[in-house]
């Protein structure tokens, strides 16, 4: 809740609505990745297990459903014509955009945090998060590398802090790509490390250790 308030009840909201694409992209990151992760982490396991019994939750949090929905939300809402339309209708379309980010963000983090309804191993979680990182990162790179401004709304917006429309777009793309590299790759490393530790302490290894330590006749 604090992250959402910080993103939408501060001067960042004014910058995002009227001046800077980079400010709007930062809001999107908060809603699509940071806040949903904390929402899912904040759910008590018992409540998450109960919710996981519902058919809709079971379907929508299935990794091969949740991840494509999250990626589609990210890429579709960044289409130039739709992005501009949302900014020109902040009371309706922009709210819908933000709600889509938050909802699909909750879905994509659910199987990473909770074992119900899908109990993924540490290796599967590592692969899942790495896939999210690899598939989402081209958007930030595209915004950074494209040689012209993509969004008419921000190209026509008043300039602040000496940032050109293209420079603002490049700053936003670098911020998005860097944030995903830090957050998603950190989570990947955490679960990959757990996977390696589990492999070292697998039942087969434990059985072999017992056999080796057993007294010989």
Mean pLDDT of 97-101: 96
Q: What is the pLDDT of residue 201?
A: 83
Instruction: Please tell me the pTM assigned to this model.
Output: 0.89
Q: Report the distance separating Cα 33 and Cα 143, nearest Å.
A: 18
Model confidence pLDDT, tens digit, residues 160-177: 999 999 999 999 999 999
Q: Is the pLDDT of residue 197 over 50?
A: yes
Q: What is the mean pLDDT of the chain?
A: 91
Q: What is the pLDDT of residue 204?
A: 55
Q: 109: exposed, middle or buried (C-beta count within 10 Å: 0-12, 13-18, 19+)?
A: buried
Mean pLDDT of 57-84: 96
Q: Is the pLDDT of residue 89 over 80?
A: yes
Q: Give the number of other CB atoms < 10 A from CB of residue 69.
A: 15
Mean pLDDT of 76-87: 96
Q: Is the pLDDT of residue 189 over 50?
A: yes
Domain ranges of the chain: 2-43+54-199
Of the candidates 132, 146, 143, the residue with the CA atom closest to the CA atom of residue 174? 143
Q: What is the pLDDT of residue 6?
A: 92
Q: Is the pLDDT of residue 39 over 70?
A: yes
Is 155 in contact with 165 (CB distance < 8 Å)?
Answer: yes
Q: What is the pLDDT of residue 203?
A: 61
Q: Is the pLDDT of residue 215 over 80?
A: no
Model confidence pLDDT, tens digit, residues 201-211: 876 554 444 44
């Amino acid at each position: 809740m604090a992250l959402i308030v910080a993103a939408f009840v501060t001067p960042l909201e004014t910058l995002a609505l009227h001046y800077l694409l980079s400010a709007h992209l930062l809001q999107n990151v908060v809603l699509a990745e940071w806040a949903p992760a904390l929402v899912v982490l904040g759910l008590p396991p018992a409540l998450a297990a109960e919710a996981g019994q519902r058919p809709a939750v079971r379907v929508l949090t299935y990794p091969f459903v949740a991840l494509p929905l999250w990626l589609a939300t990210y890429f579709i809402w960044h289409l130039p014509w739709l992005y501009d339309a949302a900014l020109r209708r902040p009371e309706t379309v922009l709210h819908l955009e933000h709600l889509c980010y938050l909802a699909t963000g909750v879905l994509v983090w659910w199987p990473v945090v909770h074992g119900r309804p899908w109990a993924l191993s540490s290796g599967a979680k590592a692969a899942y998060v790495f896939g999210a990182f690899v598939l989402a990162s081209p958007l930030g790179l595209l915004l950074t590398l494209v040689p012209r401004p993509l969004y008419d709304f921000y190209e026509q917006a008043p300039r602040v802090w000496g940032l050109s429309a293209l420079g603002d777009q490049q700053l936003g793309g670098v911020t998005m790509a860097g944030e995903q590299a830090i957050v998603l790759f950190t989570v990947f490393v955490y679960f990959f490390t757990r996977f390696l530790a589990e492999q070292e302490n697998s039942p087969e290894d434990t059985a072999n250790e017992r056999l080796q330590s057993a007294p010989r006749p």
